[in-house]
Amino acid sequence: MNRVHHLNCGTMAPAMSMGGRLTPPRVVAHCLLLEGDRGLTLVDTGFGTDDLAAPGRRLGLGFVKAMGLALDPAETAISQVRGLGFAPDDVHDIVLTHMDPDHVGGIGDFPLAKVHVHADELAAAQRPELAERGRYKKAQWAHNPSWVAHQVAGDDWFGFGSVGVLGSGTDDVLLVPLHGHTRGHCGVAVRRPSGWLLHAGDSYFFRGEKETPPSYSKGLSLFQTLMQRDKNQRLVNQERLRTLHADHGDEVTMFSAHDASELDALADADE
Cβ–Cβ under 8 Å, residues 126 and 97:
no
Q: Give the mean pLDDT of the chain.
A: 93
Cβ–Cβ under 8 Å, residues 149 and 118:
yes
Give the contacts of 214 (CB within 8 A, at least 6 positions apart): 208, 242
Q: What order of strands is seen across the sheet that includes strand 30-36?
A: 3-8, 30-36, 39-43, 91-95, 114-118, 146-150
Q: Residue 18 above 60 pLDDT? A: no
Q: Which is nearest to 77 in space by CA: 111, 40, 109, 50?
A: 109
How confident is residue 270, by pLDDT bands cut at 50, 70 and 90?
Answer: low
Tell which phi-psi region holds residue 197, choosing left (phi > 0), alpha (psi between -120 and 50) or beta: beta
**pLDDT score recorded for residue 95:** 98
**pTM of the complete model:** 0.95
Instruction: Report the share of the chain in percent with pLDDT over 70.
Output: 94
Q: Residue 179 above 60 pLDDT? A: yes
Distance in angstroms (rounded) separating the CA atoms of residues 227 and 205: 12
Region 51-67: mean pLDDT is 92
What's the Cα-to-Cα distance from 14 to each of 66, 222, 246, rounded to whole Å? 6, 13, 30
How confident is residue 129, by pLDDT bands cut at 50, 70 and 90?
Answer: very high
Distance in angstroms (rounded) separating the CA atoms of residues 239 and 233: 10
Read off the pLDDT of residues 71-87 as tens digits, 9 standing for 90 and up. 999 999 999 999 999 99
What residue ranges define each of the domains in the chain, with the CATH number in brackets? 3-15+27-267 (3.60.15.10)
Which residue type sits at 145? P
Q: Which is nearest to 88 in space by CA: 109, 74, 114?
A: 109
